[in-house]
Copies of this chain bind each other. A is one copy, B any other.
Amino acid sequence: MRHEPGADCAACAIRAKSICGAVPHRDLDILSRSRRQIRFDRRQTIVRAGEPATSFFSIVSGVVKLCRSLSDGRTQIIGFRFPGEFFAISAADTYATTVEALTFVEVCQFPHSLLKRLVQAFPQLQTRLLEMSNHYLAASEDQIFLLGRKTAKEKVASFLLSYNEKLTQESAGGHCMHLPMTRTEIADFLGLTTETVSRVLTGLAREKIITVGLSHSVRLLNVDLLQHFSGN
């Protein structure tokens, strides 16, 4: 975890996509003074479930996972958050979810008290928070359907497609993606085991629907067929 005093919010590359896009240009200095930029390396924990909830975070770069686990080792990844997205907005006084860096990550940290003041000063900021919360809620509902009713193959296909979509909406990619998560993390996200994820992926590769390359790279050869197997 490394600190950085005040790189200017006006120069922030993903400001428009993040909650900060709701703050008017002329007030960006207020924003700059409210937040602290922190960096984490892969595998570092950003917030830990159960600890007192003090801050809200917005991702500048990198990917994080939100997860919940039981003392017996069972772990479920609730979701991933990408640049421009936020986490730890809970109204409760302790964090409900552990958040860990999947890659090198830069986040902006806003103490809850400060966020509250910002929100009062900039109503559009709250509108943006609500919009994004509702978006996360819709994504959670998709995930609930996936976990409750889809087969292993459908789960993996859905996962690959949704990740592909997230990439292509940023920059037109030729269906070749570098997943920042391991097989175990995919399994913990889909409610499966590592072995099953691996088996399904090699199965899809044998059917010539994807190719699995080195360093977590996957190429989607037949998006239509994948869609068909995703059960949507």
Contact = CB atoms under 8 A, between A and B. Distances in A.
A120 B68 CA distance: 36
A137 B137 contact: yes
A132 to B, nearest CB: 9
A192 to B, nearest CB: 9
Nearest to A150: B74
A35 to B, nearest CB: 19
Interface string A73-114: 011101100000000011110001100000000000000000
A42 interface: no
A211 interface: no
B141 A96 contact: yes
Contacts of A130: 126, 129-130, 133
A83 B97 CA distance: 27
A134 interface: yes
Contact of A149 (B76, B89, B123): B76
Contact of A137 (B68, B76, B133): B133
B90 A138 contact: yes
Contacts of A119: 127
Interface of A: 66, 68, 70, 74-76, 78-79, 89-92, 96-97, 119-120, 123, 126-127, 129-131, 133-138, 140-141, 143-145, 147-149, 188, 190-191, 231-232
10 contacts: A66-B141, A70-B149, A79-B144, A89-B134, A120-B123, A130-B130, A133-B137, A136-B137, A147-B148, A148-B191
